Structure 1
Amino acid sequence: MSTEPGQESGGKSLFSLQRRERLMEELRAHGAITVRDIAAKLGVSELTIRRDVNILADEGLVSRVHGGATLPSPLDRSTAGRATSHSYSIGMVVPSLDYYWPQVISGARGEAEVQNLRIVVRGSAYDAADNRRQVQALLDTQNIDGLIVAPDMGGEHGKELLRWLNALPIPVILAERRAPSEIPAHKLEWVATDHAFGAGMAVRHLWQEGHRMIGCLTDSTSPTSPHVVRGWKQAMNALKIPLDKSIHEDSAKLDNGDRAKHFDRVLELCRASGTTAMLVHSDTQAVAFVQHCVDRGVDVPGSMAIVGYDDEVAYLAEPAISAVRPPKSYVGKVAVQLMAARLAEGRMRPVHRIDLNPELIVRESSVGAPRVVLEDAL
């Protein structure tokens, strides 16, 4: 993380505020400044001055011009009607911008408007090294006061990333992530869906529909899957369904040809074990599994009941798939609420770690059909 002289532990540089005051003094005295001249006068880089000008322009205090800035002009329409400056800037790094996370971002942005906060979003990947690069880019260029991040926590790189986040001089809120107990991340706060609870809801729903052998199909590369598996196992134990005779298969990293063979194997295991229902994470995987069942003449839900997880595309299947729906927008909303409270109260506020319950959306794939032994269907 790049720093400037006089940077305080809270992440707000006092020198940067003084520098912007000098910029405003120069503007009031001369009506305009150039980036090159003011950088030389203050002994900082031109990039630093450009960032200052952008921040002041975003606050409606200056008008940007080529190579510098002027005092605001009524002819500058970019500042017309601009609201008062935001109290803080929050960086947000998520692993995807096209699945699951857009709703989280939307919830965060909506709450940020209420809290008068600025949200700066960067997309990343399910990769600890890229997560760190994106966070570092925010720290270097955006003058952020806090960070909301959904890091990859797998392996040693993931653990090192958590240690680094915990050591940052600004508050960090994890979204849909929890630091493992072996990492002493005493400063990290988080808001996450209780996915184990959601999986348990799905299992109990299938039990109430008459199913007595309920399998689980997950993707081990997903950070959510371990929690889904844990919830499935806990519910199965509570219902006294023998785990040693139950199906739990991993569908990670399968292309179309391998996936078809894999699903055929799953159906064969279901036939042999008398399994008539499956919990499938994610619901994109559930859609593919339903389509495979249809192609193989296995009636859904008559011969195989299915509940997906995430509820991003489950409703598009034929039949529409029941799915556990995490409160995605509320994850973003509550993360911003936590951040606003942390910035307002500082170190006196206790560390908060919040679980949100998902809901089960019941559709055609898991209800309303007579139970048929899969062996007969095949």
Structure 2
Amino acid sequence: MRESADERHDRLLEFVREQGSARVSDLAAQLGVSPVTVRRDVETLAERGLLDRVHGSVSWPQSAAAAVGTAAPPGGSGLVLGLLVPSATYYFAEVIRGAHDAAAQAGARLILRISDYRPKEDKARAQGLLAAGAEGLLIAPGWQAAGDQAAYGDWMSGLPVPAVLLERQPALGSPLDDMDRVCSDHGHGVLLAVRHLIGLGHGAPLLVARTDSPTALAVRTGYDEALSALGLEQPHPVIDSVPAELDRSRFEDAVRTVQAAVATGDVTAALVHNDVDAIHLVQRLAELGVRVPEDLALVAYDDEVAALADTPLTAVAPPKRQVGLYGTRMLVERLSTGPRSRTPERQEQEEPGQHMALLPRLHVRISCGAAAPR
């Protein structure tokens, strides 16, 4: 696969950071590109304040503040924080906003990289943040499948700066389980939805969910745990949700399966992850004669666009902004006390690591057939 400009910039910055300075000809040889391309890259990075140019060579900026092109606010900490997220839209837009707000409150500068849900690129993106002067990292890896952590996550345990995981729960006992983290408790969110629907007189709800994100996998696990805690039997096997725009045939299969479950009378309620899939599902069910909420009470998961549907959707809302907010505060605090040691003798004198779980909320609207939660 051809290297992107961002990836090349990351490598260029890393090389200059390690060497302190470099000639354009040396950079061209190191990167395997033409001197013209390097000059263009250097010009772009210098305009952003990430490099200094001097007579045919480039050098690393003199301070972290210069490295991001903006001085710290008066009276601020002067810290530079790096944020790596898989997307800047939908779910993670609010996480970014919370991190930005907390960084501003601390007088720190936040710089952002996006992995586009390509976990293979997480490490390079993080190295780019370090090359740009980040003194601590906030990381939401681009994991999607269950095995992505084991395949692409171990590098985080060897980072040279303090780091906080956002919205990711590593496997128990794995090297990453020792990292500071802030996550939404999706199991609690699912329990809120199931308990609400049961309180409205329904049996156990059907689950329609994706399989392509850590949130989706957590929702599935939370569903099993919620039914067990409430003493309920699963009314129907979980239906795999597929975005209509990606695979129309599989989306139609899922819709028809929901329609059949409603027609038998076995199912009168459903929990759907995520909002967009829920909106498409409700629209298609209406075309097939299944009405929401009259025939099927429905709760969506994420609450990004649920309120904007023709039939406003009751939805579980993970505290996305607070994840970014509290994660950034945690990182600033960690930077003030120094990185955690792996030596048992020193650990006794340090602040303990933190795993913070934030509770989602249930926003009740028309789609569940109730005016307020019971």
| TM superposition score category, shorter chain reference | 0.7 to 0.9
What is the match of residue 135 of structure 2? Answer: 145
* 329, 336, 347: which one aligns with 1:337: 329
One-letter amino acid matched to 1:136: Q
Query: 1:312 corresponds to which residue?
Result: 304
Aligned to 2:201: 210
Q: Secondary structure at the match of 2:175?
A: coil
How far does residue 189 in structure 1 lie from its aligned partner after superposition? 1.1
After superposition, the Cα gap between the structure-2 partners of 1:49 and 1:332, relative to the gap in structure 1 and judged at 3 Å, is closer
Q: CA 1:106/1:56 → structure 2, altered by over 3 Å: closer, same or farther?
A: closer
Q: Name 2:108's counterpart in structure 1.
A: 117
**How far is 1:261 from its partner?**
3.0
Specify every segment of 5 or more residues in structure 1 that has no aligned partner in the other structure, as ranges: 7-33, 40-44, 61-81, 370-378
Structure 1 residues 4, 353: closer, same or farther in 2, change over 3 A?
same
Is 1:196 matched up with 2:187? yes
Matching residue within 232, 240, 245 for 2:231: 240
Instruction: Give the drift of 1:104.
Output: 0.8
Deviations 1:168-219 (A, max 9, x none): 1101111101111252225421100000100010000000011113110100
SS, match of residue 143 in structure 1: coil
Number of residues of Structure 1 aligned to a counterpart in Structure 2? 313
Report sequence identity in percent: 32
> Could you tell me which amino acid in structure 2 is paired with residue 367 of structure 1?
G
Partner of 2:60: 48
TM-score of the pair, normalised by structure 1: 0.76
In structure 2, what is the Cα distance between the partners aligned to 1:333 and 1:52?
Answer: 22
Paired residue for 1:72? none
- The offset of 1:124, in angstroms, is 1.7
Indicate conservation of the 8 Å contact 1:35/1:50, yes or no.
Answer: no
Q: Given the alignment, which residue of 194, 197, 210 partners 1:219? A: 210
Moved more, 149-158 or 45-54: 45-54
The answer on 1:268 being equivalent to 2:260 is yes
1:224 match: secondary structure: helix
- Cα distance between partner residues in 1 of 2:74 and 2:330: 23
Stretch of structure 1 that moved more, 95-104 or 156-165 = 156-165
1:286 CA displacement? 0.9
Looking at structure 2, the residues matched to 321 and 330 of structure 1 have their Cα atoms a distance apart, in angstroms, of 22
What 5-or-longer segments of structure 2 have no aligned partner? 1-13, 21-51, 341-349
Q: Counterparts of 1:155 and 1:226 in 2: how far apart (Å)? A: 8
Please give the TM-score of this superposition, normalised by the length of structure 2.
0.77
* Alignment check: 8 A CA contact 1:86 1:118 kept: no
Distance 1:357-1:219 versus aligned 2 partners, 3 A rule: same
Deviation at 1:130, TM superposition (A): 2.2
Which residue in the other structure is 2:239 paired with? 249
Q: Which residue of 1 aligns with 2:357?
A: 355
The alignment partner of 1:170 has SS state of coil
AA matched with 2:130: L
Aligned ranges 1:97-112 → 2 under 5 Å: 97-112=88-103
Name which of 127, 131, 135 aligns with 1:136. 127
Q: Would the alpha carbon gap of residues 176 and 312 (structure 1) be closer, same or farther in structure 2, given more than 3 Å must change?
A: same
SS of 1:338's equivalent? helix
Amino acid across the alignment from 1:247: P
- Which aligned runs of 4 or more in structure 1 are off by greater than 6 angstroms? 50-53
Give, in angstroms, the shift of residue 293 of structure 1.
Answer: 1.6
Q: Secondary structure of 1:262's match? A: helix
Deviation at 1:53, TM superposition (A): 9.1
1:308 and 1:314 in contact (8 A); partners too: yes
Q: CA RMSD in A?
A: 2.6
2:260 maps to 1:258: no
Aligned twin of 1:161: 152
In 2, the alpha carbon distance for the partners of 1:265 and 1:203 equals 20
Aligned to 2:277: 285
Shift in Å at residue 56 of structure 1?
A: 9.1
- Provide the residue aligned with 1:300 in structure 2: 292
